[in-house]
Every structure is written in structure tokens, then in C-alpha cells.
Amino acid sequence: MKKILALVLAMMLALGCVAFAEGASPAGGKTFTAGATTGFFGAESLDVAAGWDGWIMSIYGISENLFRLDENYVPQPWIAESYENVDELTWKFTIREGVTFSNGNPVDAAAVKACFERTYQINDRAASTLDIASMEADGQVLTLVTATPNPTVINDLCDPLMGIYDASQEPDPELGVACTGPFIATAFTAMTEVSMVANENYWGGRPLVDNVELKIIDDNEALNMALQNGEIDLIAQLPAAGTAVFADAEGIVMDAKTSTRANFLCYDQNRPLVQDQALRDAIGMCIDREAFAEVVYNGYATASYGVYPASLPYGSTDGFELKVTGYDPEGAAALLAENGYEDTDGDGILEKDGQAVSLKLITYSYNNQCIQLADMLQAELAGIGVDVQIETMDVLDDTVAADDFDFAVMNYAMAPTGSAQYLISMLFESASSGNVAHYSNEKVDELSNQLKATFDEDERIAIAKSVCEQVVNDRVYDFVCHQQLICAYSDKVTGFVVNPTEYYLITNTIDIAE
Amino acid sequence: MKRNKAGLVISLTLIALLALVAIIGPNYLPHQPFKPDMRTALQPPSHEHLLGTDNLGRCVACRIVAGASTSLFAALAVVAIVFAIGTVLGITAGYIGGVMDHVLMRVTLIFQAFPSFILAVAVAGILGNGMGNSILSLCAVYWTTYARLARSLTVSMRNAPYIKAAKVCGAGKLSILFKYVLPNVVAPVLVTAALDVGSVILSMAGLSFLGLGAVRPTAEWGAVMSEAKDYLQKAPWIIVFNGIALFLVVTVFNLLGDSLRDALDTKGEI
Amino acid sequence: MRKFLRNLAQTLILIVGITFLSFTLSYLSPGDPAQQMLKRSGMMVTEETLQKARHELGLDQPMLVQYGLWLRNLVKGDMGTSVKSRKAVALELGKRLPNTALLAVVSMLLVIAISTPVGLLCAWWKDGPLDNAFRFVTYLFASLPSFFISLIMMYVLSLRLKWFPVIGSVSVKGIVMPALVLSLTLSAWYIRQVRAIVLREMEKGYIDGLMSRGLSTGSILFRHVLRNCMVPLVTLFGISIGNLMGGATIVESIFSWPGVGKLAVDSITARDYPMIQGYVVWMALIFLAINFLVDLSYRFLDPRIRKGA
């Protein structure tokens, strides 16, 4: 009997330890809880300047920028009240009066300048985001001079890497830098969870909820059940398989907006087999884009035959002469036969100039939709005699850098700042380090440079569309579908708006009925 | 005794049946197990698809049959390898004794010092995914049991009268080992092997869950279950039927192990 | 005392073996640490800088020398830097180890609380309805992958019955599901072992004697039989800690429990070799330490061993 008593005591002791660990829980008031996978919520620190963490902090509602993109990807004033484009290189921003950092320090032009200076020193992505030549601070007016004429300065300032924080203070090892957003972090565990309280002095009005808890849950079905169970109030960037669970669920609202995120194929031009345009076109014809969007994304995606989604002004394929317009495996087989592909040794795999057409396909191990596209491709291409070996990995960078793949299924946000230039500079310019396929088309390079110096909006759209037509028909990058950003939330949640940019989630207007 | 014989016959028949399905089944499938058919995605069990379809419209029943060979033979390969290596090392060390025995026992202790699944995960994780690496990683975990068991059995019979007799008659070391020691060691080790098949299959599924299993395209049950877990609510038939297949195989092998143990009457030694 | 020293010496040999095996594993891992280091620091990767970096990292030394260097750092607590988070491996592991320890302790207590009485009763009423029912249940749990059991239990206990939350935050509510899944899957194995141990004990004659003296079933089972089974039960405990640590990897990642198991799983998908290596070494050493303590405890549990020493 004594032993049982001891056991009970030991258990109570252990539970006591847990209760102690729980001490950090919110003090009271309304709490809003949201969950997402690592891809959407995973920050390594709360320092805007570190890696991609600024992006996540903007999602958290901690950091804010000078400008904010609205639902149509148009920048609107945020911490900056207004701006003036003095000449091609010079921009003047008036910082909103009365905005303070969460530590109480006021936000003025000098603070913004110091913040950008620190970010540029720490993060090498900053210079390629916006090439600043010099800055000058005078009261609330910040004068910014770019190194070259740049028509997209305002869009670039929407990139969360350009988030505003107090650079005069050393970042806290756990809670990072002080920002201006509606919520302030009180506890943070990297890649796991963050607890926040309302910023009482938020310039845009006190947030309607008192506490926000954000949790990373990587098992998709666990994430769904957490919402069904009422443990979380919202799932941000709901994985596509979950849409079926919530389609007719009572008390849960699903809201989706076409984002600029796309699944695309990318063919490494340093590898001989996929240098052949005919093979790339044939593969393009073997993708059942409509079925992929309809089934794998449960309709929360749109098949693509161009580059950008049609929701963007430069997104349509009207007037393009397209080589691939639908799913046509017979056509693909015929195209390959025409171009000298033949199965000479009878092993079911085609050969070209004596070499078997066996391709290595890589994709992300955590992206189920990309994996399913890879599976579809593998089976479809086996049907026309093209052998595909799939390898999945968490990070593609090393394999891509080593040219150890023929093609890849990738997933990017293509115009997060609303500007067409973002993707063109990153992916299509032959000299760009982000051009992982080593795609090179002189005309594209020329058009891209032209786009960089053009300020007229209509002209910019025309140039961007010309780039798209080149890219689509070269098919070194083949865009398969444009997906929607889906959020599922309890019907008790009010004041929540899905913003397709993926930059914003938590705002001061979110409220939850008791 | 009769009941045990019956168990043995039943389990062996079932295993033969399983092997038959795994080997020739894939040639007689009504649907292609790997080719997506998006029009039929996520359909519940029906006449056309007895066990329903998966997220890419593939027939679950066909995929279970197609995956049987991978799931079954990978586990059997692990057991066969550790059985062979463990037994040979164990009886050699046990019979020769001395330094070799000492070293072998130390090495097995070192391997056993790792929590078993963690060792498997580490080996597979470092070698990278692929069936070969999974098999290798599980061999690293399981071989020690066999080496230790074979060794202790050998030591216990080293001084048995019939061995002494063989020595006196001038039989060579090798011939004693293989003619007299091995046959007496094999039976109990075989029972362990049969009982281990189930646990190897489960460990394999665990590795698949961590993304360390078979290379695509695969219908290996653990890998399929790991992917189908995202459809637990909307299409439970995928994960449940694969789970049942896995459960049945584990059960059949456990039945074999139990009845083997009873039939060979090695209870005391294990 | 001499036995204790011999134990200690054997443990030391084991430690060397464990570290050597762990080192060999990552020595065999693909990828060049020198190249990774250069890339991380943003330097140009040329044959020349590579050679230099290899020399600095000691990678041009023979394997045994490299092992020595690595072991020296290990003793100093330096286990290298995580490729993914770029923080010290020891720091990352240390931060999450208390969570896993907490989960393990709670689960283990649950296992003991569930399995000991159930195992005893199953043995007492061998082949009775209770024994058969539990045989079926334990068999079911022991023959299905743990991630499947986790999800089914999550579905039934959390979603349908609404008893416990799905998310495993470090709190009283949050620990229930991961600890329950871990302990139930382990109990499936444990109950059978306890039952077997008790059955063996009951074959001994003294039970009949106790019964004839009119002692109650409960008193015989929990006072006499249980006490005499203590040594094999504690051995069982030592072995099962290893199962628990292995099982924690999968359970932690399903229930988002911020422990070392989840860290290890994340590191495997990220191919973060230094982290995997650090995790394996730590787990093996902890497992070893626990079993060392288990060995020591025999001396207190069984007077015969104490006298024999």
C-alpha cells in the first residue's frame, strides 16, 4: 500500500512540475489562438533583420512596414503617412506622427534610418530587395536615394524585411526587437510557438483581443482536429487536404483568396537531357493541370498555362501564342517520336542519341501537393517512356547548387510585393543567383532591364507580359497552377480578413465572441 | 501438442498464401497501382474499388497487393540477414571463446547501449532514405540479439557429451561447428526470428513515417499509411485498410513464432 | 566494491564504444562539412579554400585522430553547430531535454501504474475473461505502428470524446495525450512481461502456503508476490526506458511536444547531421546512465545480491 501511495505522490509531483512550467500562461482577458505549419509560422528568432524572420514577424502582427499591400497588391500608407517621388532616384517619406515602438520610444525618420542601416548590415538580402544609396532623416521626413532609377520603391518597402523596429536597443535574446505592431511577444520558442499580448498603445487603436497564442503544428490532421476541437480559433494557410474536412463543418468558416503562390517545374539547363526544348514541351503536355488543381487542391487552385495568376494586371495569357494548352499525352509521345526519341533496346524507356531518358526529379519533403505532382509526373511520364526518379528533401538548396537534378517541382510566392519585377529579377535574369535553372534568354534580360527603368504603369504591364510570353514558350520554368491562400476559422472569429500576399495575418481588428 | 502443430500448419499456410499474393498478385490487378486517375480520387469502397481509392484516385486494394512484396520482403530480408550474421558470429565466438568471444560480447553491448529505434533512426537518417538503407539500419539494431543468443546456446553445449565424443573421434573444429553445434542452435534462434518479423515490420513503418523508407513510387504499407494520415477523417479507408494488412501480417508471423516455440519446445531458452 | 569498480570499468568501455560508433556514423554521412562551413560563411568555394577549411577542421587527419579531437570537444560540452539553426547543438538539445524528461517520467509512472496491477491480475486469473480481454487489447496495441495509434487515439479521445486537447503544449492539459499514447503503447508490452514474471513467481510453492494461512488475494499479490518480483520488474524498467525514448520521437512530433524527439525528427528531414549525432550520443549516454542506476538498485532491492557482493 505504501508503494501505491508513493506512486501517487510521485505522479502528483510530476504534474506539479508541469503546472509550474505552465506559469507563463496569459493573465486573463480574451485569447485568440491560431495554428499553422512550420512553413507559415516558423521563425528562428524575433529579429526582423535575421534571415526570413521579418516575414514571420509581420504575419504575427509584431512588425509593420512603411507601406502595406492591400488585397489587390497595391501599397497603402502604413507607418509612412505619405510619400513624394521627387525625381527618379529620390523619394521623400513622411512618417506617421504618434507611432511608438513597443518599448515606448517614438518612431521618427532617424529611427527608421537606423533600423534600415542595421538591417542592411545584417541581412544580405536587403540590398537586392531595395538598393539604397543614401538616407537622410529630418524630424518625421525620411529622404531616401536609390542607386539606380527604381519604379517599385514603394512595393519594395512592403517587403517585411524592411519592417520597422527600434535599432537603438540591443535585441532581447528571446523576444528580439521592439516593433510597432498591434501585438507584443511575451514568450517565444523558435519554430514552436509564440505568446503575445495586446499593444496597449497601438497607433491604429487598441487590439480587440488581449492575448494571442500562435502554435506550429506540423501534422496536418492534428492541426485540423485542433480547430474542430476549439483548441485553436484559426488555421492559417490550411493545407489543401484539410479543405475537405471543413467544407461542410458546422461552426467553421473557410475563406480563400488567390495568392501569387504557384507550383512550377524548373529544368536545370546545366544538365544535357533537359536542354532539349522538345522534351520539356512533351513533359508540359503530360501534366493534367486542371485535374491537379481540382483534385489535389480540391479546387483551391487554378490551372496555369502562363506565369502569373490572372488576378494580377500582367497575369493573363491573352494574345500569347501558346505551345501547350492542355493535357495531351498522345501529343507528347508523338512530339518525342518526331524529335528522334526512340526505345531502341525495348526496356520501355526512350533513348535519344543512345542515352536513356532517365531524369532525376527533386521536391520538398514537407509539401504534400508538390509530392503529389511529382507522383503524377512519374506515372504519366512512365506512360510515354520517360523514366523519373523522385527524391524529396527538406531543403533543395544544396542539391540545386550542385546541379544534381534534372528537374524540380518548386513552390514560390511569385509577386509577394505586387511587383512583376520580383520574380523576373530572381528567376529569369541569366545573371541572377536565384535563377536555379540557369535559364538564359537575351531578350528576357533586355526586357527586364527595360522594366527596371520604366515608370509608366501601362508600359510596365506590357513589358512584363512580353517577358512572360518568352518564359512560357522556352519552358525552362513551367508554371502548373496558382494556389489560393486558405484560412479556416471558427465562426466566433470576427474582423479577420485573408490577405493574399501572405505577409499579414494577425491584426488589431480580430475579435472572438465568448 | 496437437494444437501447436495445427497452429504451425495454419500459420505456414497463411504465410505461403501471403507470399503467393505478394509475388504473383501484382500481375493480376484490375487497376494500375501507381497511375493516378484523378477522376476517381478519394472514393469510398465500392464494387469497382473494393477498398476505395486514394488521394490520386488509385485503387487502395491494388496498392496493398502491390506493396505487399516490398513490405514483406524488406522485413524478411532484415530477419534473414541478422539471422545469418548473428548465428555465425555467435556460434563461432561461443565455440572458440577467448578474445574473440570477449570482443564480440563487448561490441553487442555497445550496440545494445543505444535505444533501439533511435539507433535505427540515426543510421537510416545519416545514410539517407531508401529501402536498402532502412534494411541496413534495422540490421544494425537486431543482429545483437541473435549473436548473443547463438553464443550463449553454443557455450552451454560446448561441454555436452556428444560434442566431446565428436572431438574424441577426431572431428575438426569446423565440422563440429556445422555438424553438431549449428543444428542445435538453429531451432531457438529460428523462433526468435519468426517472432521478430512483426516488430521489424513495425519499425520499418516507423522509419517510413519519418520519411526514411522506400523510394517513390512505392506502395509500401508504412509509407502509404504515413501519407494517408492526412486523410484520416475524410478518407479513413486508405490508412485503415493498410493498417489492417499490416496487422494481419504481424499477427500471422507472431502466430508462427508462438507455434514454432511450442513445437520446438524451446520455451526455457528464450 | 570490487564488483562496483568492475561495473564502472565496463561502463567506461561502453561509453568509448558508444561515442566511437556515433562518430563513425557521421564520419560516413554524405556531405562535406568543410564545404558547408564555407557556404555558411558566404566564402567562395574553391579547391584551395576547401583544402584550407578541411585542414582547419582537422578533416585531413586520419579517422582515429579526428575521433580523438571530436571526443575532446564532446567532453568539453562542444558538440558542434546545428546546420539548420546555426546554434550550438548542446544548447538546442539542452533546452528541449527537460520537456522530454518530463514526458518520459510522467509516461513511465503511468506505465507502472497501469501495468503492474493489470499484469498481476492477469497472471492471477490466468486465461480468465480479464486476461483474455487484456491479451487482445495489448496485442492490438503491439501490432500497429505507433503513429497510427496516436492518430486514432487523437481522433477518439480528443475529437470525438473531447476529453483531452490535441496540442501537446507543456502544461497539465497538454501533457495528457502524448503521455497517454506513449504509456499505453508501452503498457501493451509491459503488461505481458509483468504477467510472465508473476506467473513464473507463482509457480513457486509459497503461494499455496500463504493462501492456506487465509491471506486475502490482494495481500498475497501486492505484498508478497510483487515484492519478490521486484528485481525482474526493475530490469524491465531499465529496458523499457529505451523503448520510451524511441517512441517519444514519433509521439512528440505528432503532438507537437517540444522535446528532443521532435527536434531529432526535424533534424532528420533537414539532414542536420551534427544535430542527429548529438542527439544519438546523448540518448545513448542517458540510457546507459539509467541502466547503471538500475544495476545499482538491485543491491538495495535484493538482499541476496547485497550479501553476495
Domain tally for chain A? Answer: 2
Q: What is the pLDDT of residues A431-450, one digit of tens each?
A: 888 899 999 999 999 999 99
Q: How confident is the model at residue A145 (pLDDT cuts 50, 70, 90)?
A: very high
- pLDDT of residue A23 exceeding 60, the answer is no
Residue A243 has what pLDDT?
92
Q: What is the pLDDT of residue C75?
A: 84
- State residue C304's pLDDT score: 62
A321: contact with C, CB 8 A cutoff: no
> 238-297 in C: which are within 8 Å (CB) of A?
253-256, 258, 266, 269-271
CATH code of the domain containing B20: 1.10.3720.10
Q: Coil, helix or strand for A1?
A: coil
Domain assignment present for B122: yes
- pLDDT for A128 equals 81
Rounded CA-CA distance A250/A248 in Å is 6
Q: What does the pLDDT read at residue C39?
A: 61
3-class DSSP state for residue B42?
Answer: coil
Of A44 and B16, more confident: B16
Alpha-carbon distances of B109 from B69, B143, C21, rounded to whole Å: 33, 11, 12
Q: Is the dihedral of CA C253, C255, C256, C258 positive or negative?
A: negative
The C-alpha atoms of residue A146 and residue A86 are separated, in whole angstroms, by 12
For C156, the 3-state DSSP assignment is helix
pLDDT at A58: 97
- Chain A: nearest CA to C78, how far in angstroms? 21
Q: What is the pLDDT of residue B269?
A: 42
CB-based contact A241 B35, cutoff 8 Å: no
Q: Are residues A219 and A297 in the same domain?
A: no
More confident residue, A412 or A23: A412
- DSSP string computed for A320-338: ---S--S--HHHHHHHHHH
Does any domain span residue B38? no
Band of pLDDT at residue A16, cut at 50, 70 and 90: low
Name the grid cell of A249.
463543418
Q: Which long-range contacts (CB under 8 A, 24 or more apart) does C56-65 make?
A: C57/C33, C59/C33, C59/C34, C63/C27
For residue B127, the enclosing domain spans: 2-33+56-264
Range of the domain at A163: 23-233+492-512
- The rounded distance, in Å, linking the Cα atoms of A440 and A31 is 52
| pLDDT bucket at C309, cuts 50 / 70 / 90 | very low
Cell numbers placing C3 = 564488483
Q: Does residue A91 have a pLDDT over 80? A: yes
Range A76-95 average pLDDT: 95
Set of cell numbers at residue B141: 539494431
Whether A347 is covered by a domain: the verdict is yes
* pLDDT tens digits, one per residue of A165-180: 999 999 998 899 999 9
Query: Where do the DSSP E strands lie in A268-401?
Result: 301-303, 351-352, 355-356, 358-364, 387-393
Position A1 pLDDT exceeds 90? no
B230–A241 C-beta distance less than 8 A: yes
Cβ contact B126–C243 (<8 Å): no
For chain A, positions 273-332, list CB contacts with chain B under 8 A.
Answer: 288, 291-292, 294-296
Give the domain ranges of chain C: 2-75, 96-308
Residues in chain B predicted with pLDDT less than 70, given as ranges, are: 1-4, 265-270
8 Å CB contact between C117 and C134: no
Condensed to tens digits (0 to 9), the pLDDT of residues A479-502 reads 999 999 999 999 999 999 999 989
φ/ψ of residue B56, rounded to 5:
-110, 20
Res C25 pLDDT > 50: yes
CA B105 to chain centre: 24
- For chain C, give the mean pLDDT: 82
* CA–CA gap between residue C192 and residue C201 (Å, rounded): 14
pLDDT for res C210 = 79
Asked if residue A363 belongs to a domain, the reply is yes
What would the pLDDT profile of C257-272 be if each residue is shown by its tens digit? 889 999 998 888 777 8
Pairing of strands A67-69, A355-356: unpaired
Give kind and range of the element (H or E) at residue A198. Answer: strand A193-198
Q: Decide: B258 and B197 in contact? Cβ < 8 Å.
A: no
Q: Are residues A453 and A304 in the same domain?
A: yes
* Reduced 3-state DSSP string for A20-85: HHHHHCCCCCCEEEEEECHHHHCCCCCCCCCCCHHHHHHHHCCCECCEEECCCCCEEECCEEEEEE
Residue A374 corresponds to which amino acid? A
CATH of the domain at A94: 3.40.190.10
List subunits contacting chain A, requiring 3 or more Cβ pairs under 8 Å: B, C
CATH superfamily of C96-308: MetI-like (1.10.3720.10)
Q: What percent of chain A has pLDDT over 70?
A: 95
The angle subtended at Cα A38 by Cα A34 and Cα A39, nearest 5°, is: 105
B210 CB neighbours in chain C (<8 A) are 249-250, 265, 268-269
Q: Which spans in chain B are helix H?
A: 2-24, 60-96, 98-112, 116-127, 131-158, 161-168, 173-176, 182-209, 221-228, 236-264
- What's the pLDDT at A25? 47
For residue range A225-273, list pLDDT tens digits in order: 999 999 999 999 999 889 989 988 889 999 999 898 999 999 999 999 9
pLDDT at C83 over 60: yes
HEC states along C242-280? HHHHHHHHHHHHHCCCCCHHHHHHHHHHCCCHHHHHHHH
The total number of structural domains in chain B stands at: 1
Least reliable range by pLDDT among A52-56, A333-337, A388-392, C40-44: C40-44
How confident is the model over A277-288, as a mean pLDDT? Answer: 95
The partner residue sitting opposite B110, judged by closest CB among C21, C151, C264, is C21
Does some domain include residue A6? no
Contact at CB, B113 and C28, closer than 8 angstroms: no
Give, for A111, the enclosing helix (H) or strand (E).
Answer: helix A109-122
Q: Are residues A123 and A143 in the same domain?
A: yes
CB proximity A432 to B under 8 Å: no
State whether residue A404 sits within 8 Å of chain B by CB.
no
Report pLDDT digits (tens) over A361-410.
999 887 889 999 999 999 999 999 999 999 888 778 878 888 999 999 99
pLDDT the model gives residue A5:
55
* Domain match, A123 and A175 both: yes
- Residue C164 CB neighbours (<10 A): 21
CATH code at A384? Answer: 3.10.105.10
pLDDT for res A138: 94
For residues C50-60, give the mean pLDDT.
Answer: 75
> In this predicted model, what pLDDT tens digit does every residue of C271-280 receive, in sequence order?
788 888 889 9
Q: Which residues contact A148 (CB under 8 A, 6 or more apart)?
A: A89, A131, A452, A453
Residue A15 lies in a domain: no
- Whether A388 and A361 have beta carbons less than 8 Å apart is answered as yes
Instruction: Report the pLDDT value the prediction gives residue C303, as an integer from 0 to 100.
Output: 62
Band the pLDDT of C228: cuts 50, 70, 90.
confident
Give the per-residue pLDDT at C307: 53
Chain B residues within 8 A (CB-CB) of chain A? Answer: 32, 34-36, 38-39, 41-42, 55-57, 129, 211, 215-217, 227, 229-234
What pTM does this model have? 0.86
Decide which of A33 and C7 is more confident. A33
Residue C240 has a pLDDT of 85
